[in-house]
Amino acid sequence: MIEVIAFNGSPRKKGNTEVLLDAVARGVKKAGGSIDIIRLCDLTISPCIGCGGCSKEGKCVIEDDMTILYDKIGSAQRIILASPIYFYGITSQAKAFVDRIQALWSRKYLLGKGVGKGQSGRKGYLLSVAATTGERVFEGAELTATYFFDAVDAEYSGSLLVRGMDKRGEVSNVADELERAEQFGKEIVGG
Ligand SMILES: Cc1cc2nc3c(=O)[nH]c(=O)nc-3n(C[C@H](O)[C@H](O)[C@H](O)COP(=O)(O)O)c2cc1C
């Protein structure tokens, strides 16, 4: 069974990211996969302090909830990074999580060690939502996602980007977007 892990960087409960992730989860399950959705806001994830400690053994010196997440990331076959757009990038909660991936970047690029636990073909996906409709609104998030997935040894394989959603959970009234999200979930398992 394909196991998907999704990191939700939105601090807003029942927000658009959460609604979209729930629709993605329905698609994942209909396609025979399993999904674990993690609300980053519920965890203690301190920002990276740039101490360079991880360059020695590929392990972060900070002891907090990231310790569990490093393991989960290592064993997942499909990884979703989900965040609304805040000032043309991902939320600070999501960015703190991504920055702490520096420990895995160090494993890969400084120590030449693998990140995924033995599986090949690990894949990564970005899910994002923004209030505005500008063509370039997701560019910052996409760049961050590209280098996040590279560091965790997953191939960046697609994105679900939803524009024009601002009020809490308003995407739940847009059947087309929910359908698109469910389909995205199915493709993640099938891809
Ligand atoms: C601090 C903050 C910054 C935001 N910056 C942007 C932005 O730069 N561009 C944009 O289109 N929407 C921006 N938004 C709107 C959110 O992306 C939008 O409300 C989104 O639907 C929130 O998703 P959520 O319900 O999952 O939290 C911002 C919202 C907040 C609270």
- pLDDT tens by residue, 151-166: 999 999 999 999 999 9
pLDDT in tens, 36-81: 999 999 999 999 999 999 999 999 999 999 999 999 999 999 999 9
130 Cα to the center of ligand 1, angstroms: 5
What is the C-alpha separation between 183 and 27, in angstroms, rounded? 6
Residues forming beta bridges with residue 127, ordered by sequence position? 82, 160
Nearest CA to ligand 1 atom 25: 15
Domain boundaries, the chain: 3-190
What is the C-alpha separation between 138 and 147, in angstroms, rounded? 15
174 Cα to the center of ligand 1, angstroms: 18
**Which amino acid does the sequence have at 53?**
G
Nearest CA to ligand 1 atom 31: 86
Q: Tell me the whole-structure pTM to 2 decimals.
A: 0.97
pLDDT in tens, 108-120: 999 998 887 766 7
Ligand 1 binding pocket includes 163 (Cβ within 6 Å): no
What is the C-alpha separation between 77 and 56, in angstroms, rounded? 27
Give residue 118's pLDDT. Answer: 65
88 Cα to the center of ligand 1, angstroms: 9
Atom of ligand 1 nearest to the CA of 11: 27
Nearest CA to ligand 1 atom 2: 86
What is the rounded average pLDDT for all residues in the chain? 96
Ligand 1 binding pocket includes 88 (Cβ within 6 Å): yes
CATH match for 3-190 among 3.40.50.1220, 3.30.750.24, 3.30.70.270, 3.40.50.360: 3.40.50.360
